[in-house]
Each structure stands twice: as structure tokens, then as C-alpha cells.
Amino acid sequence: MDPWQQQLRDSLAAPAQLAARFDVDAAALEAVCARYPLRITPHYLDLIQEPGDPIWRQCVPDALELADDQPLDDPLAEEQLAPLPNVVHRYPDRVLLLVAGTCATYCRFCTRKRKVGCRGNEVSLGEVMAGIDYVARMPSVRDVLLSGGEPLLMSDLLLKEILERLRRIPHVEVIRIGTRAPVVLPARITEGLCALLRRTHPLYVNTHFNHPRELTPEAAEACLRLADAGVPVGNQTVLLRGVNDQAAILEELFRGLLRLRVRPYYLHHMDLVRGTGHFRTRLESGLEIFSALRGRLSGLAIPHYVVDLPGGRGKIPLVPEHVERLGDQALLRAPNGERVEFPNLCPL
């Protein structure tokens, strides 16, 4: 068994295990875990210094997940934009291929909180192959993003098969992998995996660091190993209340990422997902933080601050030309000029 597989096997997956290590009410968390599953790798668990700290908030269930009255499970309308159960085709030239239904650690703010890790939402090999066949039938598709769930939980052999099948499609120019493995399961970024990815260029990896304490020596080694394999690595951070909603924290994070040859790519405003309201910030707060960063960091270290508009309308950068009005109901302008009402509240 490889070290990363051992980490998975030893992951914390029940409130009782959490209560054996921290002073928590396991019974109160059972109701949350019945709806939204729990899993934390030993590596990530060891980063928690105390209950309620930025690492804790990202991975430990909270009763507020059940109290959030946000009406949408799927605010980005991925289900409506899915020609197949595991294919999301929102943009003409790009396809999101969901190749996994589980993660090494379940983030409490996940966009696909409604399904990832939940029973009945597993992704079969047949569905993955059907998704690849769909891409092959769509000559407009130039870019395929592998996501899930965590794509890197599959074996190298299966990943190789998927990547090679995609690479044989003439119109697929770029393959991307969205992964949080460098953060929560850095042992997965092996020399063998990097050799496999090196053979599939042009291939890009987007990872997901949210706090400078996640930049551990093990995570650094994983990122540098990918970079040494010629894999461009970008980072997508989510702006999370009580985790990283301060300019100083994000400044430290983005500086640290550049040292690891990871490009800060997106700073995401929280999606309007049910069960995540306690993480939400106001748009004004994000814009203020973003403005402060512009005075402290070089452009290379500053990501795009974006919001993914509800209803599958797409991402927009939060810059003045897309922000027409703020307040409790912000008015934002989509790329096609459509004006979209965006709830700008922190309900919890």
C-alpha cells in the first residue's frame, strides 16, 4: 500500500473519532454528517491547532450547515447544463468531466456539497468513458477539466487510461485537473504520478489552498514536484468568512504560493450553495480586501476576484465594469450584458 493510500485508510470519518481528539459534541454532529459526509486525512487533521481555527472551519462539520436557509443546492445550474450525469457543458469550448464522486477531505464549503461523498452519487467507469465519448462527438470542445470529487484518488493506471483517451481526440487541445490533493493529501503527488502527467502535455493543474497554514513542507514538496515535471500549477482560493477574509492572510498565502511556483489564479466569492451561509462574505468586503492587496503585491501574485453567477451564467471578474450596484441585492452584469440580481447577505 502506498503512503497516500495509507493516509486515506487512516482518515477520520466519524464524529466519534473527532470527539476522541477534541472537545466536541459528537451526537450533535451526527445529524450534519447524515446529510453532508465527513472525512479528514491525518495530514490535514494535524494542521488543526484548536477548534474553530481556519483549518477546523474548513473540514469539521458545523450545525450551521443545516440551519442555512439558502434555497439552492445547485446554484450554478450544473444539473441543467449536464448532457450526461457526469458532464457539465456550460461554455462552448470547455467541458467539465466529473470523474470521481469522493474526496480525500470533504470541504464544508464545497460547491457540489449536494452530491460529493453522498451515497448514490458515485461515478462509474462507464460514466467516465461515456463522458469521453461525448467530448469526442463535440468538435467545438478544446478544453477538458477533470474534476469531481477528487480526480487524483484514482490509480495511476486508471488516470493514464483516461488521459490517453482524451489526448487521442484531435480537437482536445488542453486538459486540466482540479485537485486539492497537494493541500490535504500531498503524498499522492508521487514521482510516478508526475511522470504520467509529464507525458500528457499540454496539461494544467489547478489546486486549492485557502490559508497560509496549509503551505506545509509536504505540500511544498508536492507543488514543486509538479512544477519540476513541467506542469503549470494554478491556485483557486475561496474567500471564506472566519478563514481568510483578511488582506494580511491572503497576502501571506499568495506570496507563499509564488515561492512554490504556484500562480494565484482565482479568488472565488462564495457560491450560493445551501449549507455554506456561515462562510459567506459581502461583496463589499471582498472588493475592499482585493483593493488592499493591489497596494501590497505584484500583479503576478494577485488572482482575479470572481463570482460564478447563479443559473449557469458564468464567471465574471469583480471589477467596476461588472458591478452596477451593491447593497443587500447587488446588481451585476454578465458577459453577455445581462443584468443579474445577486443576493449580497451574510444570513448566519
User: What pLDDT sits at residue 333?
Assistant: 86
Q: Residue range 295-321: average pLDDT?
A: 88
- % the chain with pLDDT above 70: 99
Tally of CB atoms within 10 A around 261 = 15
Task: Check pLDDT > 90 for residue 196.
Answer: yes
| CB-based contact 117:164 (threshold 8 Å) | no
Q: Residue range 39-54: average pLDDT?
A: 97
Binned at pLDDT 50, 70 and 90, residue 319 comes out as confident
Mean pLDDT for the chain overall: 94
Q: pLDDT, tens digit, for every residue of 74-114?
A: 888 889 999 999 999 999 999 999 999 999 999 999 999 99
Task: Check pLDDT > 80 for residue 69.
Answer: no
Instruction: Sketch the domain layout of the chain as residue ranges.
Output: 3-343
CATH 3.40.50.620 assigned to 3-343: no
User: What pLDDT sits at residue 286?
Assistant: 93
Residues catalogued as catalytic? 90-91, 94, 103, 107, 110, 112, 271, 308, 315
- Distance, CA of 338 to CA of 346 (rounded, Å): 25
Q: Residue range 34-63: average pLDDT?
A: 97
- Distance, CA of 103 to CA of 87 (rounded, Å): 18
Write the DSSP symbol of residue 310.
G
Binned at pLDDT 50, 70 and 90, residue 121 comes out as confident
- Distance, CA of 323 to CA of 224 (rounded, Å): 37
Q: Residue range 244-255: average pLDDT?
A: 97
Q: Which residue has the cell 483593493?
A: 291
Q: Per the omega criterion (within 30 degrees of 0), is the bond before 303 cis? A: no
User: What pLDDT sits at residue 70?
Assistant: 74
User: What pLDDT sits at residue 348?
Assistant: 61
